[in-house]
Homo-oligomer: A and B are copies of this chain.
Amino acid sequence: MDRITIAHGAGGVVMQSLIKDFILKNLSWGNAEVPLEALDDAAVVDGIVIKSDSYTVKPLFFPGGDIGRLAVSGTVNDISMLGAEPVALAMGFVLEEGFPLSDFERIILSIRQTCIEADVFVATGDTKVVERGALDKFIINSSGIGRRHAALDYNLSVVRRYRNLETRWLLDSNIRPGDKIIVSGTIGDHGIAILSSREGYGFDTVIKSDVAPLNKMVKKALEVGGVVAMKDPTRGGLSNALNEWSQKSGVGLYIKEEKIPIREGVRAACEMLGIDPLEVGNEGKAIIAVVPHMAEAVLEAIRETPEGRDAEIIGEATDKYEHVVLETIVGGRRLLPPPIGDPVPRIC
């Protein structure tokens, strides 16, 4: 394989190998508290949380959101997942010549609305235009900086009542046997909403994307305390996020399939298309690992927020297995492997 394929950008094992063989190999020497090679949701340098994501979603407008809402939410969420408060965003726009100004304005207004919702602002930006045919309409890069969350030290002090924890941030490598795994709501909504809004798919029910900033929900969880890790299951879905946790923390994860909340319409669409909903990307969901004694209290606090009302405890970390093991609805057990790619390309 000597050329870039769609799978290289799909959040699964092919993308991981591209990142390791080309990017980490050549670029990971920086003196960061949470460095590039951690491949976590964001990096930490001199106490500043920093994150960058490019958005190539197709179509630009979809049920429940648009590329602007997605760009703000994605960056806010990645920064939040480390236990930080997002402070400011930097937005890079790349437009195709001929793009309607009315659509551009609609997206700017959506960015505005989502920033207000998340209590962040755009501090700087950049606009580039390429000639017709050189780009499919519009790409946004959204970068952001964040500060250590006011409630993070309290949260970690609660963790330390129960066990040792060396890190100062909520990292993918923090999980230990016994920790409970919460998912903040229904899985697969975003990817299926994108898919269903593309031409040629005629589903009975309109599935709306879950795209939303999660920083207010995260705040509630940290104020309860006991959270050891958080991750937003975007490209590669729940399946990829859980496997990253298992691998980086060196623990098994035992997940009960029947506890994973999935909307009926999403389940039906996935069955029709032969897609595993656990591999479908989400843009308004988090998985949250909590020390056992605090899991119910964190779950309750999350359920009181609009973004977390369908939250469930879906399983726990264990030293009985080395990977992610799914207890299926029919009672069997199967390995949940990391996805190779993403069943739905260009969802973010």
Contact = CB atoms under 8 A, between A and B. Distances in A.
Interface of A: 1-10, 15, 18-19, 22-23, 26-32, 35-36, 42-43, 45-46, 48, 50-56, 58, 87-88, 90-102, 104-105, 108-109, 111-112, 115, 121-131, 133-136, 139, 141, 143, 145, 147, 345-346, 348
Nearest to A100: B3
A36 B127 contact: no
Interface SS majority for chain A:
mixed
B87 A46 contact: yes
Contacts of A97: 3-6
Contact of A135 (B8, B26, B135): B135
15 contacts: A1-B101, A3-B97, A3-B99, A3-B100, A4-B95, A6-B97, A8-B127, A8-B129, A15-B127, A26-B109, A52-B91, A54-B141, A56-B94, A94-B139, A129-B345
A67 B3 CA distance: 18
B45 A4 contact: no
A56 B8 CA distance: 20
Contacts of A141: 52, 54, 92, 141, 143
A74 to B, nearest CB: 9
A10 B98 CA distance: 15
B123 A50 contact: yes
A27 B122 contact: yes
B104 A4 contact: yes
Given A27-B111, A30-B123, A95-B9, A102 B135 contact: no
A3 B90 contact: no
Contact of A88 (B43, B54, B87): B43
A2 B123 contact: no
A136 B139 contact: no
Most buried by B among A7, A31, A126, A145: A126
A18 B99 CA distance: 13
Contacts of A143: 50, 52, 90, 92, 141, 143
Contacts of A27: 108, 111-112, 115, 121-122, 125
Contacts of A131: 6, 345-346
Nearest to A49: B124
The 8 closest A-B pairs by CB, nearest first: A9-B129, A30-B121, A52-B90, A141-B141, A143-B143, A43-B124, A134-B136, A43-B123
Contacts of A123: 30, 32, 35-36, 43, 45, 50
A191 B141 CA distance: 24
B100 A5 contact: no
A54 B45 CA distance: 22
A121 B36 CA distance: 9
